[in-house]
């Protein structure tokens, strides 16, 4: 579906120039972004900041029809536009003597430039309008990024909507926000004064409700005080405890008098819960209860083990989910800043790069190498066959590079039959001499690798394959000196001088 105005869209950059860039939104829909709408900041090198294949986000400005019947979409990728959820202020909405908030963008000796919030409108506050007092250096008063409030002094529409602002504090004395701040401060002062009086009243109450620790019913008063929610000083408790320890006669006598009725009433109760007849029969009951306790303990241990296992599994699941979320966020960040193009990690990354650069043989070869790292030779062959169909026929060098990679794959992982079939196919679509020279070069490298390892069997096998391929190339291209020169270099590098002379 075709997006509408103010819709948020995602796409991949296809090409970038000094005037802007084009973004592919879908297989049949492209969008255009002009230079000034690429970013809020100055873009010195658009090609480096927005390379082909980078994932970008934009807001649709207009959608119009072209001559060929296609839809042309203009989008804006500036962060200020993407984050603004309300209608932006235009130059037509600006009126003289109106007040706005903005940000200082640039400071010069003659004044400060201010950009109004939620708009693209900027104006100049002259040095005479920057303060009520004399300003010797504006750069000491304002800096880029400062949040300010401005008043529109003049608007000259005949000279390209030139705006003049005023930053004088006297213009904002009667504003509602400053009066609200003053009222808020006064309310705060009133609250503070009231709270101070209340604190004094609480202090008086504490003095009046203080507890006399010398009284005989100190414990009763203490309980009543705690139930009422009052506070008891620690010092008074310490003093009461020390005084209670010192008073031996009065305190002990009073406590004995209070405890005597309780002792008498308890002595009258002869039922102590013990029976001689049932004492012997209670032993088996205790043994049975101990058995029940052991079974209860074992069952509780099993429950604890199950709970521990379940909690361990849940922690493992949570950790795996957290790692997955971190990986997704890292991939999204890499796609957003363009670093995913430098080191693709999966098939989706390679497909995205190939969608923007189908004629780049380096990407195709890296895609084949990625499949080989997963030990998937069939997929690597399929990628090579796709490259032969996707690369344009004029790009002969790019196709030859992919053919060389496929021949190397057959040399390393294929059989002699598959290698010969690949050589025949490559010779039909490329220069046969170049194909054989590439194969001979790869076999020469295999001989060098086997010699460095030192295995005699591997060295003999590699040398035999290389000799056969060089002999076949020289027989097939007798009149081509480059083939003979390559064969001579191969023999001389292996210290086979007699064969080289013959």
Q: What is the pTM of this model?
A: 0.35
What is residue 87's predicted lDDT score, i.e. its pLDDT?
A: 67
What is residue 299's predicted lDDT score, i.e. its pLDDT?
A: 60
For range 217-244, the mean pLDDT: 51
Give the rounded percent of residues in the chain with a pLDDT score beyond 70. Answer: 71
Spacing of C-alpha 427 from chain mean position: 49
Q: Evaluate the CA torsion angle 62, 65, 67, 68 in order and state its sign.
A: positive
> Could you read off the pLDDT of 87-125 as tens digits, one per residue?
678 888 888 999 999 999 899 999 999 988 878 788 999
For range 158-175, the mean pLDDT: 87
pLDDT band at 189; cut points 50, 70, 90: very low
Q: Which of 141-150, 220-229, 302-311 shows the lowest mean pLDDT across its residues?
A: 220-229
For range 11-31, the mean pLDDT: 92
What is residue 293's predicted lDDT score, i.e. its pLDDT?
A: 54
> Could you read off the pLDDT of 198-211 as tens digits, one per residue?
444 444 444 444 44
> Could you read off the pLDDT of 283-338 as tens digits, one per residue?
444 445 555 555 555 566 666 666 777 777 888 888 888 888 887 777 777 666 66
Q: Which of 127-136, 287-296, 409-418, 476-485 shows the lowest mean pLDDT across its residues?
A: 287-296
The strand pairing partners of 89, in sequence order, are 119
How many other CB atoms sit within 10 Å of the CB of residue 276? 6
DSSP H stretches of helix in 209-281: 218-227, 234-246, 249-267
* Average pLDDT for the chain: 76
Cα separations in angstroms, 18 against 14, 492, 501:
14, 53, 60
Residue bearing the bigger pLDDT, 164 or 456: 164
Which residues lie closer than 8 Å to 370 by C-beta, 6 or more apart? 344, 347, 350
Integer Rg of the chain from CA: 45
pLDDT band at 261; cut points 50, 70, 90: very low
Strands 99-108 and 147-156: antiparallel
What is residue 262's predicted lDDT score, i.e. its pLDDT?
A: 41
Buried b (16+ CB within 10 A) or exposed e, 335-350: beebebbeebeeeebb
SS3 51: coil
Distance CA 59, CA 62 (A): 9
pLDDT band at 220; cut points 50, 70, 90: low
Q: Evaluate the CA torsion angle 223, 224, 228, 232 in order and state its sign.
A: negative
What is residue 291's predicted lDDT score, i.e. its pLDDT?
A: 54
Q: Tokens 């996707």 sit at which residue?
A: 390
> Could you read off the pLDDT of 57-72 as tens digits, one per residue?
999 988 888 777 788 8
What is residue 442's predicted lDDT score, i.e. its pLDDT?
A: 87
């Amino acid at each position: 579906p075709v997006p509408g105005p103010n819709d948020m869209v995602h796409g991949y950059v296809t090409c970038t120039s000094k005037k802007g860039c084009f973004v592919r939104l879908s297989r049949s829909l492209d969008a255009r972004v002009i230079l000034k709408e690429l970013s809020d900041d100055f873009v010195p090198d658009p090609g480096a900041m927005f390379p082909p294949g980078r994932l970008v986000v934009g807001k649709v400005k207009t959608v119009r029809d072209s001559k060929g019947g296609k839809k042309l979409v203009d989008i804006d990728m500036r962060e200020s536009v993407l984050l603004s959820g309300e209608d932006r202020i235009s130059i037509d909405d600006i009126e003289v003597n109106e007040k706005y908030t903005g940000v200082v963008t640039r400071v010069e000796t003659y004044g400060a430039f201010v950009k109004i919030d939620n708009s693209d409108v900027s104006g100049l506050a002259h040095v005479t309008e920057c303060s009520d007092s004399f300003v010797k250096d504006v750069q000491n008063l304002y800096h880029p990024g400062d949040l300010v409030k401005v008043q529109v002094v003049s608007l000259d529409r005949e000279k390209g909507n030139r705006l003049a602002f005023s930053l004088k504090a006297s213009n904002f004395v009667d504003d509602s926000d400053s009066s609200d701040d003053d009222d808020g401060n006064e309310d705060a002062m009133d609250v503070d004064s009231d709270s101070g009086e209340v604190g004094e009243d609480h202090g008086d109450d504490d003095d009046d409700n203080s507890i006399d620790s010398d009284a005989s019913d100190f414990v009763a008063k203490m309980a009543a005080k705690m139930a009422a929610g009052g506070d008891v000083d620690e010092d008074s408790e310490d003093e009461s405890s020390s005084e209670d320890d010192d008073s031996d006669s009065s305190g002990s006598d009073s406590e004995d008098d209070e405890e005597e009725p309780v002792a008498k009433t308890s002595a009258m109760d002869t039922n102590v819960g013990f029976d001689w007849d049932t004492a012997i029969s209670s032993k088996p009951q205790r043994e049975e209860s101990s058995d029940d306790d052991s079974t209860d303990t074992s069952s509780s241990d099993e429950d604890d083990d199950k709970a521990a296992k379940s909690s361990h599994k849940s922690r493992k699941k949570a950790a795996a989910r957290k790692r997955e979320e971190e990986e997704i966020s890292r991939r999204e960040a890499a796609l957003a800043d363009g670093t995913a193009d430098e080191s693709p990690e999966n098939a989706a990354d390679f497909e995205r790069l190939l969608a923007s650069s189908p004629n780049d043989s380096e990407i195709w070869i890296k895609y084949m190498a990625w499949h080989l790292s997963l030990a998937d030779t069939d997929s690597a062959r399929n990628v090579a066959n796709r490259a032969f169909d996707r690369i344009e026929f004029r790009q002969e060098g790019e196709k030859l590079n992919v053919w060389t990679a496929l021949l190397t794959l057959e040399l390393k992982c294929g059989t002699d039959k598959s290698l010969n079939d690949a050589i025949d196919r490559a010779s039909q679509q490329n220069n046969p001499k170049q194909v054989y020279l590439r194969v001979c070069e790869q076999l020469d490298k295999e001989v060098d690798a086997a010699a460095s390892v030192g295995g005699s069997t591997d060295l003999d096998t590699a040398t035999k394959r290389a000799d056969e391929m060089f002999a076949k190339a020289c027989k097939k291209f007798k009149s081509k000196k480059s083939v003979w020169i390559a064969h001579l270099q191969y023999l001389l590098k292996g210290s086979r001088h007699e064969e080289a002379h013959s």
